[in-house]
Chain A
Amino acid sequence: MIYKLITDAAAAVADITDGSTLMLGGFGLCGIPENCIQAILEKGTTNLTCISNNAGVDDFGIGLLLQQKRVKKMISSYVGENEEFERQLLSGELEVELIPQGTLAFRCMAAGYGMPAIFTPAGVGTEVAVGKESRIFDGKEYLLETAFNADFAIVKAWKGDTDGNLIFKSTARNFNPLMAMAGKITIAEVEELVEPGILDPDQIHTPGIYVHRIFEGKNYEKRIEKRTTSK
């Protein structure tokens, strides 16, 4: 098998240059690559285009990169309660392409499956459709949406092995396996790294062929955005 282990986050992101396009896994703060985001922050990389469903919160996740004005453009589906993101968007400091969440997922999927584009009904008749090619199938209109083309995909998995095989946990899976398949270079950080043969092949979500670099992350905070409990 092909060995993918890299020492740590700093080594994994070392060749990400200014102006790169990154896909970053996660939904809200759930399943985000905390270690890699921190390493990019420390490395000083700037002028980034980030494809990610959200941009973290003001002081965690991609929000940290936004705060330091490292992001030129965000491609996301939801701004939500991230005040800095909303402020930079409304003031025009940040270029933002808001797209439907399903379209975001399918554009990642298309890239991972080697398909140039997909058709989706999401956004028909809205400003999302402006300037896009559309087609009618069985009397219903669909928009042509093209596959993403990202330099790096940075994902977070629950378990992985040194061959790059990944297993995700619960809703922390979200965009991670799709982006893992879509990156020209895919970096995976995992909570638990094991030797090949430990993970059951039938339980692997992302086969190692899609992963170029893997390392075990440290000190996961796994911050919760809305801790909601019942009595």
Chain B
Amino acid sequence: MLDKEGIAKRIAKEVKNNTYVNLGIGIPTLVANYLHEGINVCFQSENGLLGVGPFPKEYAVDPDTINAGKQTITALPGASSFDSAMSFGMIHSKKIDLTILGAMEVSENGDIANWKIPGKMVKGMGGAMDLVASAKHIIVAMQHVNKAGESKLLAKCDLPLTGKNCVKRIVTELAVIDIAPEGGFVLIERAPGVSIEQIKNATAGKLLISGDIPEMAL
């Protein structure tokens, strides 16, 4: 079973060379720490920066330079800043190659819910509805089950949707799973030490298993 860092490490393997990538808040942000050597990536932050660098040293903190999670960041050499319309312009015109974000629920046809629990919690969608509507490739980073122990991989989402038919791949502490074009969760890899049985038990939606399922290499 993977911890959050492990999920980030596994997703880092999905990031291709010379691509523009948008990272959501939480586990996705950690992916930047595990990029493989020789992989050149430009990170976009939808509040208006292309070329996001590491967190600043204490002396270099600039309140005017933050990421979409409101953390202070740095801008790398070659970075550019822009207004919010241009930022979502580059998202909707499909200039961003990969979007990695968290989710509360994903359904077997690739629907995603991550912004609201009616009557209980409202975070707002922020840029997530834009990102999932137009991303070329979407990977969801999340826990397989919620805090109540219920599966987050469902036949149909119960929570209000963020987007429909958009998720391509899910990486959890238990498995790597793809969304089949005709619907269903295709088991691709098992996390180290995790059995197919465990993954089956944690998946409420239709799990498709064919042949040997390899263990993840991290």
Interface residue ranges, A against B (CB under 8 Å): 27-31, 53, 76-80, 86, 89-90, 98-106, 108-109, 120-128, 158, 168-178, 205, 222-231
Contact = CB atoms under 8 A, between A and B. Distances in A.
B119 A90 contact: yes
Contacts of A175: 83-84
Contacts of B84: 27, 53, 101-102, 104-105, 108, 174-175, 178
B178 interface: no
A170 B49 contact: yes
Contact of A170 (B62, B133, B134): B62
Contact of B47 (A30, A76, A223): A30
Contact of B54 (A30, A105, A230): A230
A29 B72 CA distance: 12
A212 B56 CA distance: 37
Given A173-B81, A224-B72, A77 B126 contact: yes
A171 B66 contact: yes
A165 to B, nearest CB: 16
B133 A101 contact: no
Q: Is the interface of A mostly helix, strand, loop or mixed?
A: loop
A224 B66 CA distance: 9
Contacts of A231: 57
B37 interface: no
B45 to A, nearest CB: 7
Contact of B130 (A122, A170, A227): A122
A205 B81 CA distance: 12
Contacts of B45: 171
Contacts of B49: 170-171
A100 B70 CA distance: 17
Interface of B: 45-49, 54-58, 61-67, 69-73, 75, 81-85, 87-88, 91-92, 111, 115, 119-130, 133-134, 160-165
B129 to A, nearest CB: 4
B83 A174 contact: yes
B33 to A, nearest CB: 11
Contacts of B58: 229
A79 B123 contact: yes
Given A101-B88, A173-B82, 11 more contacts: A76-B124, A78-B123, A80-B123, A89-B122, A121-B92, A121-B134, A125-B163, A126-B161, A170-B49, A175-B83, A223-B63
B124 A98 contact: yes
Nearest to B68: A27
Contact of A171 (B54, B56, B81, B161): B81
B64 A125 contact: no
B125 A77 contact: yes
A99 B163 CA distance: 13
Contacts of B82: 173
A230 B176 CA distance: 31
Contacts of B66: 27-28, 30, 171, 224-226
Given A90-B119, A102-B88, A229 B125 contact: no
A168 B48 CA distance: 12
A103 B124 contact: no
A170 B69 contact: no
